[in-house]
Amino acid sequence: MKAVAIAHPNIALSKYWGKKPGEWNVPAVPSLSITLAGLATTTTVAFDAALTTDTLTINGAAIAALRATELLDHVRSAAGLTTRASIVSTNDFPTASGLASSASGFAALAVAATRAAGLDWPAERVADLARRSSASAARSLFGGFVELDGDIVRPVAPAGAIDLRVLVCVTTEAAKAVSSRIGMNTTAAKSPYYAGWLETAPRIHAELKAALLAGDLPRVGELAEQSAFAMHASAFAAGIVYVSGATLDAYATVRALRADGIGAWATMDAGPHLKCLVHAKDAAAAKARLEASPGVLRIIEATPGEGARVSASTGEDARPGASSTGASGVQGRSPCVDR
């Protein structure tokens, strides 16, 4: 009745922003992300008959388990359980500040909760459970480059498809003021450019996916930047501003790197941290320049990594669904969702 899971955040190259009306947390546009090694959430779920309510701590602080309880209720209902659970989660990177801690958090929770409840679900079903809590969490179930299209999540290329580094420029350790859920709902309700975003995002996504499969990093970088700016422009027009002065200074550095002949591209999510995409060979030069950018506190260098898994410390096979197929899991692929 207890399991530990590890999941990594993912950074969308082509972004999702906005939900399909009338459906349960289904993104309005397709997205494609990289699951990142180098940042991790570790979550322990223990069903415990002595508890009268679910409890949750994140990095040692007790917080209301509301959204976690929603997820656990699905698990309890599928497993025929009524027992409450304690959830203990830690992030080794800033929480709730646009570094996709909700993606790794709900991915780790979904893996740990299903395993603790004795459900041996295939990864696609665990991903669907995670998506209901945070759409981007579905992508963290898989390693490498992952697509979320409607409610279907699928790995599209292994972690080694492009020799890429993601330089996460941390500009604050604080949580963001406006959640992505509120930010995207406000954009959909108030932005005069939301219709333009819905029209543009699928085109950028399709072109980016093709460039990725062709191994064309400069085109992937260019399209990732287009996607981020189109998303943020639609949000800006509704008064939703996630970037800070430090983000824009870091972006000026990215452009200066390009002017100097170094392939570097920027992306930003629902928070002020700029993420710089570079080829591995340029990572050290780009990192040195970005470290000197005003307002950049530190840089986390991440590589494409593997999907969410039960922690080896529990002594079980790592990947959701692995025991049902006997497969040990291949980087970037789930043994159960290749369709």
Q: What is the contact surface with ligand PMV in residues (CB under 6 A)?
A: 12, 15-17, 31, 102-103, 134-136, 180-181, 269-270
Provide the token pair at 188.
């959909």
The distance of closest approach from Cβ of residue 86 to ligand PMV in the complex, given in angstroms and rounded to an integer, is 24
Nearer to ligand PMV, 31 or 334 (CB): 31
Nearer to ligand PMV, 99 or 278 (CB): 99
The distance of closest approach from Cβ of residue 180 to ligand PMV in the complex, given in angstroms and rounded to an integer, is 4
Nearer to ligand PMV, 154 or 181 (CB): 181
The distance of closest approach from Cβ of residue 15 to ligand PMV in the complex, given in angstroms and rounded to an integer, is 4
The distance of closest approach from Cβ of residue 80 to ligand PMV in the complex, given in angstroms and rounded to an integer, is 29
Within a 13 Å sphere around the CA of 229, how many CA atoms are in the beta-carbon half?
10
Nearer to ligand PMV, 16 or 121 (CB): 16
321: left (phi over 0), alpha (psi -120 to 50) or beta: left
The distance of closest approach from Cβ of residue 106 to ligand PMV in the complex, given in angstroms and rounded to an integer, is 8
Nearer to ligand PMV, 94 or 335 (CB): 94
Nearer to ligand PMV, 18 or 335 (CB): 18
The distance of closest approach from Cβ of residue 264 to ligand PMV in the complex, given in angstroms and rounded to an integer, is 20
The distance of closest approach from Cβ of residue 154 to ligand PMV in the complex, given in angstroms and rounded to an integer, is 15
Give the whole-angstrom CA distance, residue 263 versus residue 213: 18
Give the whole-angstrom CA distance, residue 10 versus residue 22: 26
Nearer to ligand PMV, 58 or 270 (CB): 270
